[in-house]
Amino acid sequence: MLDYIRKISWYILSNKKRYALIVLFLLIANVLDIIPPQLIGRTIDLINNGELTKEITRNILIIFAAVIVLAYIVTYWWAYLLFEGAIKIESIIRSRLMRKFLLLSPSFYEKSKTGDLMAKATNDLKTVNMATGFGIITLLDSTTFLLTIILVMGFTISWQLTFFALLPLPLLAIIEQRLGKMINKRHKSSQEAFGVMNDAVLEVVEGVRLTRSYVQEDAENRRFHSLTENYLNKFMKVEKLDAFFQPLTIIVVSSSIAISFGYGSVLVNNGLITVGELITFNVYLNMLIWPMFALGMLFNIMERGNASYDRIQNVLDEADVLNTSGEMSVKETNFNFNEVTFKYPTGNRNSLRNITLELNKGETLGIVGKTGSGKSTFIKQLLKIYPEGTGELIIDGVNISSLDRKKLREKLGYVSQENILFSRTVRENIMFGKPDATEEEMMEAVRLSAFDEDLKRMPEGLDTLVGEKGMSLSGGQKQRISIARSLIRQPDILILDDALSAVDARTEQRIINHIKNNRQGKTTIIITHRLSAVHHADKIIVLENGSIVESGTHKQLSDGEGWYSEQNDYFITGG
Ligand SMILES: Nc1ncnc2c1ncn2[C@@H]1O[C@H](COP(=O)(O)OP(=O)(O)OP(=O)(O)O)[C@@H](O)[C@H]1O
Ligand SMILES: [Mg+2]
């Protein structure tokens, strides 16, 4: 439990004033809380001795009322300050997490489950909030209250009685300490199960159409049910431990009360304390039930918080971030690949082998080859998405490792093979490429990407909302919006990764012609499975197993004997 406090101490230390005030208010509240039992005991003794006058009664009632009002005010304040602090730490950590998510490398995402990351950003953070708010209040409240009451019982009534009555307490602490460790472990595994379940929810929702078309609803249901069941079991394991605390507290406090009455009556008989004092003492003992109970919950909450905090911290500590090093910016756009070889961090063989290639500013490069031959990988090296491989990749005479990733990206317009659209309007999706684009630039991008015809048929034109991931659009429409998004930036280097695969041959030619005319003097890289898209390229390379096996212009290659001419003949003769 103290572990958790240590972990969030950075936050408490940076909010010293807040927490000092909380402690101060708590102490005042505690002192106020011990006044009523004192009043009760004194009144009883006054009645016993027949000394209770009207005036004294009135004073007692006034003090009573004042104490209640004051206690209300200070309690309001510490609770307010504390919960505000808790929600703040939650949002601070969440922002850190989001910032980290944006920095983490693709390999990190390949090995983590989205559902689990979401669980961390929501559920685990809530647990941290709980531990920091509710947890700390209970810790401060129960310990200071416990101490105050013990001191008051000792000083105002009897140390002997206090000592014996509290004998059963340490037992509770020892058991709680033990259970705390178990809770931590079980909570971690319960949260992991939650993450897996979360991921399954995502998959079910995203894959709902696939599931339906393959009539796999029942199988999916069963799979999901077993995941929910698994989470439920693990969650119940935590709850079982939790439930263990409550009866335990009652047993311990009841034995304290029994001892205090037994031993207390002896003390009263011997005239060491009065009846009123014994009653006050027992009221105090009863007041101990709450802090004891709270301490039980506290161990639970803090251990859960501790476990969740670790899960989040693991992401924050993840070293697998994008390589952002390098400060040089790109001026011209001449590329030089020199024996570049690359293996994915998670891969087991080279996806690029000894790639040597030169591409000058203004040239168009076509990349073709079988599926899985390394075309997209080639581009990802250029984009600095993955760690660098061996060999040299020189842009404008500067090694890519010394280039600033952001500055490099600013030069690029990249249409990836997976079309990713946001659930926003068409306009917003295109403007994502250039947030300050004018209406003319916008319409030009739409025209170049041959999206103008489609746009006329859309109910609200550019302001038509695109469904979750662009569901209401056809594949070809999505591709063309993605192309428009990259063209609107007028990038120095345009990269189309299989970006025309879902459009018909005529539309493809239209777009290619537009690009050819519009991008004179600028570098363009086109990856395609349809050779017609690269006929005009200055240079075409054919990849196979990560190596360049052919290169040249369309004319040279189609006159040759290799894969390219084979494909070309196949296309012309129809196989
Ligand atoms: N993130 C990754 N981690 C590990 N291996 C990968 C990863 N991405 C691709 N690969 C592997 O690298 C090789 C080249 O993949 P790449 O995506 O570059 O092929 P491609 O030529 O673009 O294929 P396609 O025409 O189907 O798009 C493949 O064998 C693939 O399995
Ligand atoms: Mg690819």
Tell me the C-alpha distance between 264 and 567, whole Å. Answer: 101
pLDDT digits (tens, 9 = 90+) for 454-475: 888 888 888 888 876 555 788 8
Residue to substitute in 376, 542, 543, 567 for testing ligand 1 pocket (most ligand atoms within 8 angstroms of CB): 376
Phi, psi of 376 (to 5 degrees): -65, -35
Tell the residue number behind the tokens 């009863």, with chain if given: 286
Residue nearest to atom 5 of ligand 1 (CA): 347
Query: Which regions of the chain carry the CATH code 3.40.50.300?
Result: 325-410+534-575
Q: Which of the listed residues 111, 375, 415, 495 should we mutate to test ligand 1's pocket, taking the one with most ligand atoms within 8 A of CB?
A: 375
Architecture of domain 325-410+534-575: 3-Layer(aba) Sandwich (3.40)
Q: How many residues does the chain have?
A: 575
Q: Which atom of ligand 1 is nearest to the CA of 347?
A: 4
Helix (H), strand (E), coil (C) string for 207-244: CHHHHHHCCCHHHHHHHHHHHHHHHHHHHHHHHHHHHH
User: How far is residue 172's CA from residue 167's CA, in Å, rounded to a whole number?
Assistant: 10
- Nearest bound ligand to CA 369? 1
Cα distance between residue 164 and residue 263, in whole Å: 8
CA-based nearest residue to 102, from 382, 314, 322? 322
Residue 44 near residue 275 (C-beta atoms within 8 A):
yes
Is the shortest distance between the CB of 105 and ligand 1 below 6 Å?
no
- The environment of the single-atom ion ligand 2, i.e. residues with CB closer than 5 A, is 376, 417
- Angstrom distance (rounded) from CA 28 to CA 126: 29
Q: How far is CA 158 from CA 106, 186, 281, 282, 363, in A?
A: 67, 43, 9, 12, 95
Q: Which residues, including other chains, have CB under 8 Å from residue 339's CB and lie 6 or more apart?
A: 354, 355, 356, 390, 391, 392
Smallest CA-to-CA distance from 345 within 284, 316, 387, 383 is with 387
List all residues 6 or more positions away from 186 whose beta carbon is below 8 Å from its beta carbon.
234, 237, 238, 241
| Residue of 64, 36, 29 lying closest to 283 (CA atoms) | 36
Distance CA 480, CA 430 (A): 10
| Burial of 397 from C-beta contacts in 10 A (0-12 / 13-18 / 19+) | exposed
Residue nearest to atom 17 of ligand 1 (CA): 376
pLDDT in tens, 54-72: 898 899 899 989 999 999 9
Question: Which ligand has the nearest atom to the CA of 373?
Answer: 1
Cα(498) to centroid of ligand 2, in Å? 7
Cα 379 to middle of ligand 2, angstroms? 9
Which CATH superfamily includes the segment(s) 2-317? ABC transporter type 1, transmembrane domain (1.20.1560.10)
| pLDDT lower than 70: segments of the chain | 1, 323-327, 468-471, 574-575
pTM of the model: 0.71
